[in-house]
Structure 1
């Protein structure tokens, strides 16, 4: 099984921090956000990783290298200026992800969720599975909900940015800029998208304040 870490975003709300540092490389407790994902994936046996990038991609590649110092193998999927959005980015990297189901994780989230659940997930005939979490204060309206194990479009919970997909879900998507939500809506209508509840601490590290709060949390845990 392989995994893709999404790292192509500009991080506008994080400026000026992201003017010179890609958001996934911002640090909490002296470790970059993306390194937490790399280590968690490696610890559950995922050693082949794909990372897409657009903004300051050379900085990401220079920082992480080929992954050898983490005990993994990293392949990169460069995108055009401005990026390809999530669906386009996954489609563009599909040739690197193989023929088996793969994990996709947003590079700018942090979670204490056990990634072993992703490895052991049974998709059946579904095209993928989204992990949903409780709505944070900054997104009280939510995105989707879970109905009988499937994704429902009623906004009750928030998409965590952690998911598993079959590659065939993306094969008919054009290799161009494309958002993922319209495909979620289609797959959900066809009962082809599972959903599970993420029962663990989770944070979308989207602003300097959230970055600082997460840093304080992790430093406190070490005391």
Structure 2
């Protein structure tokens, strides 16, 4: 089990910790039958639901607001976490608060289906109510990742629309996703390029601006529930030189199959 939440790390000068959006709406088809009755982000690794590993790290870093998007079995996530989270195996009564205040973007209830990543982000922007925010998939295990205030400060001072953490390519994704230039810019490489590619960890800092024209054509707040992937937006921004990244070398697993889950214990 994780230790109780320690006092948050100090914020970088003049930069308050931004909110975070945790993606938890997917059906988890490859995880069936485990996900037939349990949403994938609530599957346990070392006795703790995957989603709560991120919540612990966010609270440790001083983040105080989290939005979680839900669709498949989303009611279970809301019942587990209520509207705040205190990391002690129980949750405060309504109104008592906790280290993290949680709100929900309920895609299945609103539209009957999940909205994919870009659609989900566009829908959640009014709840995030911030020009910069953290993004992380709720089914990724990265127990040593820290949502550092210094990274927020560097990102806020740059012209980048997104900053992505990349990882060495796992066995199930040997081709990788993006290249990384020497100046930290990410590259949308053609298949014929000899340059190395790395895998997007699904952890990032984003500007809300990325979800507006000319990068994205989804109306503000995604009132029609348009489903759209994030990769095309990132590629457009990369081609304009406005996506940065860095390599993350800590433990990281995309918990996409029962075998990968079992390997984590």
Shorter-chain TM range is over 0.9
Which residue of structure 1 lines up, in the alignment, with residue 76 of structure 2?
Answer: 59
Q: Is 1:164 matched with 2:172?
A: no
Stretches of structure 2 lacking an aligned partner (at least 5 in a row): 1-17, 88-98, 190-195
Query: RMSD of the TM alignment (CA)?
Result: 1.4
The answer to which of 97-106 and 147-156 deviates more is 147-156
Deviations 1:127-153 (A, max 9, x none): 111111100001101111111211101
Please give the alpha-carbon distance, in whole angstroms, between the structure 2 residues aligned to 1:53 and 1:11.
12
- Counterpart for residue 139 of structure 1: 173
Q: In 1, distance between residues paired with 2:151 and 2:260?
A: 26
Question: Which structure is higher in helix share?
Answer: 1
Structure with the higher strand share, 1 or 2: 1
Report the alpha carbon displacement of residue 120 of structure 1 after superposing the two structures with TM.
4.3
Compare CA radii of gyration and give the structure with the larger one.
2
Q: Which moved more, 1:188-197 or 1:150-159?
A: 150-159
In the alignment, does 2:238 pair up with 1:188? Answer: yes
C-alpha deviations, 1:148-202, integer Å up to 9, x for none?
2111012610000000011111134312111111111100001111111112111
In structure 2, the partner of 1:82 is 113
Q: Which residue of 1 aligns with 2:25?
A: 8
1:122 to 152, 155, 178: 155
Q: Structure 1 residue 178 and structure 2 residue 228: aligned?
A: yes
In the TM superposition, structure 1's runs of 4+ consecutive aligned residues that sit over 3 Å from their partners are: 117-121
SS at match of 1:125: coil
Separation of aligned partners in 2, 1:199 and 1:138: 17
The structure 2 residue matched to 1:101, chosen from 128, 132, 153, is 132
Match status 1:20 vs 2:51: no
